[in-house]
Amino acid sequence: MLFPSRCPVCGHENRVEFADASIHDLRCAACEAAYCLFVRKQKFEVLFDLGTRALMDGYAREAVASFAAALERFFEFYVRAFALEQASGKDEDFDVAAARLDITWRHVVSQSERQIGMFALAYLLREGREPDFLTSKALGADFRNRVIHRGYLPRRAEVDEYAARIFALIDRLLTELGPGASHVELAQERSFAAHLARLPESVTAVFEEHPGMFRARRFASAGPPKSAPVPAGKAPGALNDVQVFAQALAERGAALDWLRRS
């Protein structure tokens, strides 16, 4: 899936492939000007938005893979946020703490189960309670495995339910993290700065912050999800995960129009 980027020199719209580090060294197809595009967005956000866009476009099976990957990368995001938050509280040097974290993460980078274990411990130490939401049923693990590993072709309703589970969990944990998430944002900014320092003077740097399913929630003034209208004679109740996801999709789905299959 590609996304559009306008050349800062001539304004031509170029189609860009997502880069793993959110740093894109580009050359305009029209005027051939070199520019570097930095996208201020975390990997879990990109993956969840790709899954949402695929779901909206009718690619249900592909959406499951993106949602599953988004959750795994969010667990990494949480661990990094917790570790850097702890280092900040001890007035440790940020670069030293980040480097130590990178070295440690290499021990589990190819092992999903160990990554979940690191997340579980980080959650326990930060929140002081068991992460009881890590059960196979709560995470929809069996459904994910059937789709990704056994070639199951899911119905749209099943994917909606799975997406809602992942969305609700990430949204809840982001809310609990609060300002703690800013430490990972800082780590990304420092990686951008390091790349920027290496660019030739002839290359223009462009910074973008794309909207998405979580980006608006994290940085806009959006409060907690509102309750749906309650029919007469019925007691008000909280929205379930599917309703919350559907509401978020209605509110923010249009912001994903910049993600178009090409």
Supply the DSSP symbol for 226. P
From the first residue on, what is the mean pLDDT of each consecutive set of 10 residues in the chain (262 residues)?
92 95 97 97 95 94 96 97 96 95 96 95 97 92 95 95 95 93 95 97 94 71 39 54 89 80 51
pLDDT at 261 (0 to 100): 52
Mark out the alpha helices in 13-111 (DSSP H runs): 43-56, 60-89, 94-105
Beta bridge mates, 37: 24, 206
Alpha-carbon distances, residue 91 vs 21, 45, 83 (angstroms): 27, 29, 13
Alpha-carbon distances, residue 56 vs 11, 26, 39, 63, 156 (angstroms): 29, 29, 23, 9, 10
What is the rounded CA–CA span in Å between residue 226 and residue 238? 9
Q: Is 3 strand, coil or helix? A: strand
pLDDT at 1 (0 to 100): 74
pLDDT at 215 (0 to 100): 74
pLDDT at 224 (0 to 100): 41
> Count of alpha carbons within 13 Å of 96, Cβ hemisphere only?
7
pLDDT at 43 (0 to 100): 96
